[in-house]
Structure 1
């Protein structure tokens, strides 16, 4: 694409020549960048058979077509090739109405989309039906044309949701730019430039993957403020006033005095900034979120029976992510996360545990956490669990991991790469700016989720890869860097190797075999998932006990662990370690609803993965505390931080189902307990 700053030239008078230096001053680009951009502009003009830029002596002259066809030149696509989907048309129709400064009619919509009157009428009908569910109406009067009616906060949130989806496609972004250019050819460029200046001056750390949607949302809200001002409630604004983002909002809005009353909108724009700003530990007003992050980590440790060794680092990483998530969830700013379903499929058990561990955040906000947000927290924890694996590695290459989608995606990407390439030493970077500040002598190769223009060897990868993508990446890296190990053969090589030794059935061709193998390899990674035993596979009849004996809490833990010891899965030392953990750290093993999960570290005496269950007739008071009355003890002997997670995820689902939980707590025999465990696995 042509750099957005070149748009400052399209407002200039035609037939006036400019020197390279003058263009540099107008656009803010370096002279080298200006020359490069002029070359790209001429290439696009030539490709579309438009009159090219003229060079006379040391002056450059721009033709009228540079202004008239700016969108085509910017995107490298002619308008006749832009086709909006039905959903894109309806979203843009809403946004055009959202910023309308004139009386809008059906004709205006027709002209914008280049479609028939019937198409627009059908879009309006469907849009009205959708908006009614959001308590918004699209009204029309002969005097004022089309306009939106409803709570201003809800009208803006709906605009944000639509923009978030539109920025994902070229037609969507084209429509967003075109909508703004109806009023000013350089307004979007101004918003973009002033926002970047504000971020830099205020030292805000922005999640790069959210910046594009935020620029457009700010631009559309700014245009709306000319006729529809809005102020947050006093409580929300009081919280925001304590934050760095509030002064940043004032600084930004000061650039648009003709459009906005700063006092009215400063809180709202501070809120927008907070939804994309990583937490700042120095902001004392955010200490409540630091405490919440700590509670979430302890919940995760309790539910997943893991101990995070790098606690402080995880606390800060979680806090950085929690801050924008808190403001997004609390104020209904939807997060478009295309990885959610993939995360659920590949990290299902961790997703379940994370969703439960986020209970402190739910209490703080007073509402359920959307799955899209749970997904990002899941990969944050998944990355940390993966990073805790102790590998005896011989470091041969140094690699950078670049993933601008945020720290959560970066961590999971780094973790997956470490598992694939144990002989590479990986360092994490989350922005292209960070990459530019690192000396090339400090790394040999780059793994990036975005395309890069670099002289270093680099691989383009998804934060979460399918098995086929992993296979192809392993092959490429091994071929390029000669890393010792088994090279994963390609599908072609597998088929060519097998063909001399097999006889194909009638109707089966080499191409058919290729398609079948390809489908098998494209299936999401399930091998590791399948290796993890289910709850019912661990808690078999011989591992379940019921007793009417009156026991102390120490006796109950020892009694519950006996089947594990009898099977040689743990030593006596492990039983003592589980009891000592409770004495040292309190009733952390109480995971709620009368169920306790005693466990210790693998090195304390675990020989093999296992679980055992004891149900007592008379509740046992953990640490002799009436607040911790336990009916069921489930002893866990974990060999690492991951193999037991599927089983614990099933247990968490059972705890979340009141009916199944009640049946479990009142069960009278082993068969009933096993049946309930199996039912819990299918929830």
Structure 2
């Protein structure tokens, strides 16, 4: 891969030779790295593009055509292989206009994308309609070409969104890079170098997976900043100038004196930096987010009827994630989450509960939290729930989990790997930078989302794996590490062994047999997700009671638990524990309008998973407090932190819908309740 610093080759004269030391000074790489990069460039150009450069390990001479091959070198693709879809074209048209690098016409866009005039006109028409809904006008004048008209803050918000759209594909990233070349071949490299310099000097920690798209946005923003400046609100200035990041943003902005108003831009870049920087306890002005992190954990415990054992550890992890999320959500910086569909599919019930647990935070920001953000909080909670499983096992191997995508993704990776490999001890979750400081004797294998150079066994996986990917990983690890010589056969090997001895029925092909066998094996490997019962599976007719008697709240809990006790799902100790929990911790079981969810720990007397419901004609007050009037008790007996989540997620959806909630509160018969639950 070509190092971004090699962009500085473009600032060389193409009619003279440079010795190695001159190149080291200009490129800012050490001799070994630089020689390796030049060898790579020479080989790629010669092999793929039939262009020779004069490089003998000591001196370099570049032909004048060299800049024409810079993008193909970076992406290892030819421009004729790049095809932009409609969304990518419109995003890039916006950003080219946003940057104000040059005057733009329809012809410019045709040349840039290599498409017809009619295609560009159709793109502009759709883009104009979309921007109009966001209070931005896409205007053309003979004097100035295309330009954007509207509030600068909104124009920048949309620009950030457009970078996110383009960044998700190779064609989009090619277009983003190509758009900056008319300004400078080294602008992107300057932005990246100065950003990392400011971060390192001020001892800040970035989330690596967010950096590249932010570098693109900052590059386009710096181009626009030569013509337009933007002043943040006074309250935002006060906040960002109290943060440690402000010194970094101010130092960064100083490196670009062409900005129209560096003072204002330092504030804005400070906000932008915070979207990709891990939260820090030393920023005392962000302590309110620590409080919200605590609220979110308690809300998740309340909604999911679980208890996080390592509360402080989870609190800090959540805070580290919450800080950049707050700045993204509050100031409308778009976050891409390519895993969101996978998260919603594999962790659907947890996603639902997390969304509700985030409501106090959403009310504070006064902004609807995007699903992409909820997804990352979901896997953070999911990872912590998974890590709490009690695995009584003999530890034989140690592994590192390397995931540059951030804390939440690392946690879910670690959790899933623990589930797959109970004989491996996953003690350390680390970043690439931390990996270098860990002795190789401290681990046996590495699991990571990106390739890593290491002498130890190394498995590259996705942050969230499909069942097929899990199957393949289990086979690889079992073959390499766990039980050498004793490996579960693959579907192909099973078929190859069977086919010589069997005769297939008419219409049955090898392919059909393969799919059937594969489905059977996948079913065995599926997680407990499919084993989790639905709400209607637990709250059956014999688990529902209606009472018109007057009673105390303690008596209501005892009565609500009676079906569970009668069916031998809980002991008397569990009922006492549920009552004691309310006395000790307050009315935390009040989960919605007139609804209570009494529960205790599994070890307090749960024999098997169950739920029961009691509906009262005469409501009771928890702890005699009128603010906690309850008419429906739903008693939960959970065997662990996970098996009941699907049922609770369904319950939460019902309680979140005003119409459904009113139907439940007004139900007169068991059948009405059952129909609603189903």
CA, structure 1 residues 526+155, in 2 after alignment: closer, same or farther (shift >3 Å)? farther
Deviation at 1:486, TM superposition (A): 8.4
User: Which runs of no fewer than 5 residues in structure 1 stay unpaired?
Assistant: 679-683
Matched ranges for 1:495-514 at <5 A: 495-499=495-499, 503-514=503-514
Deviation at 1:516, TM superposition (A): 5.2
CA distance in 2, matches of 1:176, 1:6: 18
Matched ranges for 1:236-635 at <5 A: 236-483=236-483, 487-499=487-499, 503-515=503-515, 517=517, 528-635=528-635
* 1:21 lines up with 2:29 in the alignment: no
Deviation at 1:252, TM superposition (A): 0.5
CA distance in 2, matches of 1:558, 1:379: 36
Residue 148 of structure 2 aligns to a residue whose secondary structure is: strand
Residue 561 of structure 2 aligns to a residue whose secondary structure is: helix
Deviation at 1:347, TM superposition (A): 0.8
> Do the aligned partners of 1:466 and 1:522 also contact (CA within 8 Å) in 2?
no
CA, structure 1 residues 570+49, in 2 after alignment: closer, same or farther (shift >3 Å)? closer
Matched ranges for 1:43-58 at <5 A: 43-55=43-55, 58=58
Deviation string 1:577-634 (CA, Å, 9 cap, x unpaired) is 1111111101111112111111111111111111111111111000000110000111
CA distance in 2, matches of 1:176, 1:349: 38
Match of residue 161 from structure 1: 161
Deviation string 1:24-73 (CA, Å, 9 cap, x unpaired) is 12111111001101100110120234442324794322222223322222
> Do the aligned partners of 1:50 and 1:65 also contact (CA within 8 Å) in 2?
no
CA distance in 1, matches of 2:279, 2:501: 60
User: Which runs of no fewer than 5 residues in structure 2 stay unpaired?
Assistant: none
Deviation at 1:312, TM superposition (A): 0.1
CA distance in 2, matches of 1:354, 1:516: 36
Deviation at 1:658, TM superposition (A): 0.9
Match of residue 210 from structure 2: 210
CA distance in 1, matches of 2:513, 2:408: 38
CA distance in 1, matches of 2:488, 2:359: 42
CA, structure 1 residues 667+252, in 2 after alignment: closer, same or farther (shift >3 Å)? same
> Do the aligned partners of 2:594 and 2:632 also contact (CA within 8 Å) in 1?
yes
TM-score (structure 2 length as normaliser): 0.97
CA, structure 1 residues 413+675, in 2 after alignment: closer, same or farther (shift >3 Å)? same
> Do the aligned partners of 1:198 and 1:252 also contact (CA within 8 Å) in 2?
yes
Deviation at 1:447, TM superposition (A): 0.5
Match of residue 681 from structure 1: none
Residue 425 of structure 1 aligns to a residue whose secondary structure is: strand
> Do the aligned partners of 1:222 and 1:260 also contact (CA within 8 Å) in 2?
no
> Do the aligned partners of 2:17 and 2:59 also contact (CA within 8 Å) in 1?
yes
Residue 65 of structure 2 aligns to a residue whose secondary structure is: helix
CA distance in 2, matches of 1:38, 1:473: 36
Residue 64 of structure 1 aligns to a residue whose secondary structure is: coil
CA distance in 1, matches of 2:38, 2:554: 78
TM-score (structure 1 length as normaliser): 0.96
Residue 179 of structure 1 aligns to a residue whose secondary structure is: helix
CA distance in 2, matches of 1:67, 1:247: 36
Deviation at 1:76, TM superposition (A): 2.1
CA distance in 2, matches of 1:169, 1:374: 23
> Do the aligned partners of 2:471 and 2:522 also contact (CA within 8 Å) in 1?
no
CA distance in 2, matches of 1:289, 1:93: 38
- 8-17 vs 498-507, which moves further: 498-507
Deviation at 1:541, TM superposition (A): 1.5
> Do the aligned partners of 2:101 and 2:182 also contact (CA within 8 Å) in 1?
no
CA distance in 2, matches of 1:486, 1:271: 55
- 481-490 vs 508-517, which moves further: 481-490
Deviation string 1:386-431 (CA, Å, 9 cap, x unpaired) is 0000111211111100111111111001000001000101133342
> Do the aligned partners of 1:569 and 1:609 also contact (CA within 8 Å) in 2?
yes
Deviation at 1:485, TM superposition (A): 12
Deviation string 1:325-354 (CA, Å, 9 cap, x unpaired) is 111111111211111111111111111111
CA distance in 1, matches of 2:486, 2:32: 46
CA distance in 2, matches of 1:502, 1:149: 73
Deviation string 1:487-545 (CA, Å, 9 cap, x unpaired) is 54322134345546765332321123334555777799865222111111111111111
Deviation string 1:229-286 (CA, Å, 9 cap, x unpaired) is 1111112222111111222111100000122422121111111111111110111110
CA distance in 2, matches of 1:501, 1:94: 64
CA, structure 1 residues 63+429, in 2 after alignment: closer, same or farther (shift >3 Å)? farther
Match of residue 659 from structure 1: 659
CA, structure 1 residues 48+499, in 2 after alignment: closer, same or farther (shift >3 Å)? closer
Deviation at 1:133, TM superposition (A): 2.3
CA distance in 2, matches of 1:121, 1:400: 52
> Do the aligned partners of 1:423 and 1:483 also contact (CA within 8 Å) in 2?
no
Deviation at 1:86, TM superposition (A): 2.3
